[in-house]
């Protein structure tokens, strides 16, 4: 696999290809906007191949079927579990392969290194939260109601040992600089959603006008993130109680009328 850096997305295998000099080159199959090119064959027939469109991004996409797609999900789930249990420095690609019952070399179809595996796991963890949070933010209810739903979505899945989220919260700091930057862009999307809801609450009179929105945002998300340290230390089902307590602590400090807050 030397010379490529594949990334796995749901339904796609993505390769960034390098030329012999180490520069990225495009090797797209069925590039958008590329027209087939016919080549004459010795028997008089023609062979059609996709023409590379040099104006498109230098990423190779290859569609994979439902079976390989499920396998890619299984690989990411196994990697997330290993990172969540052992941490980045305590985990190895061999550990991931052993969990899957496959050869270590086969993992390189999905990622080229332990760092690449962690980046995919972290991306998965934060994107799951972002997707649900965007739905909540666009839904009905006042600012405090939507913040309540977002905090529950962040904390309660930790009770089920949500490995990708736990790996993201604990291990993202060990990613290389560029990978941290990419994951950081996703995290800022999440922060932006929470910040916007806080501002909407201030405008609607639900939230104190003297509130520092950025401090409140960081405090709310910091409490939710810290809850990732608790699974295994609390009795079964306790994460729901933890979520409700964090909601009360956070929202009673920012609401103009705490008596009207959601009670669970």
Residue 54 has pLDDT above 60, yes or no: no
Output the pLDDT for position 48. Answer: 43
Percent of the chain with pLDDT over 70: 68
pLDDT higher than threshold 80 for residue 62 = no
The structure's pTM equals 0.67
Say yes or no to pLDDT of 5 above 50: no
* Highest mean pLDDT out of 169-183, 187-201, 238-252: 187-201
Residue 166 tokens, joined:
């736990």
Question: Given a cut of 70, is residue 241 above it in pLDDT?
Answer: yes
Eight-state DSSP code of residue 43? T
Position 231 pLDDT exceeds 90: no
Do the Cβ atoms of 151 and 68 come closer than 8 Å?
no
User: Residue 35's pLDDT is what?
Assistant: 42
**What is the per-residue pLDDT for 73?**
87
pLDDT band at 160 (very low <50, low <70, confident <90, very high): low
> How many angstroms separate the Cα of 119 from the Cα of each of 21, 30, 38, 124?
26, 27, 40, 9
Is 221 a residue whose pLDDT tops 70? yes
Distance (Å, whole) CA 205 – CA 202: 5
Please tell me the least confidently modeled range out of 17-21, 73-77, 167-171, 197-201: 17-21
Q: Three-class SS of residue 211?
A: coil
Question: Could you tell me if 252 and 258 are in contact, meaning their C-beta atoms sit under 8 angstroms apart?
Answer: yes
The reported pLDDT for the residue numbered 97 is: 93
The pLDDT, as a whole number, for residue 210 is 95
**Inter-axis angle of helices 143-155 and 238-254, nearest 10:** 150
Domains by residue range for the chain, with CATH: 7-40+57-109 (1.10.10.60), 114-260 (1.10.357.10)
Burial status of residue 4 (CB atoms within 10 A of its CB: 0-12, 13-18, 19 or more): middle
* Band of residue 91 on the pLDDT scale cut at 50, 70, 90: very high
Candidate from 10-24, 29-43, 177-191, 243-257 with smallest mean pLDDT? 10-24
**Residue 167 banded pLDDT, cuts 50, 70, 90:** confident
More confidently predicted of 67 and 116? 116
What is the pLDDT, as a whole number, of residue 264? 53
């Amino acid at each position: 696999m030397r010379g490529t850096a594949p990334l796995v997305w749901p339904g796609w295998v993505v390769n960034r290809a390098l030329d012999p000099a180490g520069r990225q080159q495009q090797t797209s199959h069925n590039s958008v906007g590329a027209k087939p090119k016919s080549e004459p064959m010795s028997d008089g027939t023609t062979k059609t191949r996709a023409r590379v469109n040099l104006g498109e991004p230098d990423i190779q996409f290859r569609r994979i079927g439902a079976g390989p797609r499920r396998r890619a999900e299984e690989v990411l789930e196994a990697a997330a579990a290993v990172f969540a249990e052992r941490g980045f420095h305590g985990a190895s690609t061999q550990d991931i392969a052993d969990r899957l019952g496959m050869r270590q070399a086969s993992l390189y179809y999905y990622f080229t290194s332990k760092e690449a595996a962690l980046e995919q796991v972290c991306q998965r963890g934060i994107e799951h939260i972002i997707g649900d949070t965007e739905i909540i933010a666009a839904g009905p209810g006042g600012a405090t109601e939507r913040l309540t739903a977002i905090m529950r979505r962040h904390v309660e899945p930790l009770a089920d040992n949500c490995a990708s989220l736990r790996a993201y919260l604990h291990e993202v700091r060990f990613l290389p600089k560029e990978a941290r930057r990419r994951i950081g862009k996703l995290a800022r999307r999440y922060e932006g959603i929470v910040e916007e809801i806080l501002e909407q609450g201030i405008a609607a009179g639900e939230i104190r006008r003297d509130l520092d929105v950025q401090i409140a945002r960081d405090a709310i998300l910091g409490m939710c993130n810290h809850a990732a340290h608790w699974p295994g230390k609390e009795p079964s089902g306790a994460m729901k109680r933890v979520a409700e307590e964090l909601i009360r602590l956070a929202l009673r400090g920012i609401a103009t009328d705490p008596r009207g807050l959601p009670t669970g």
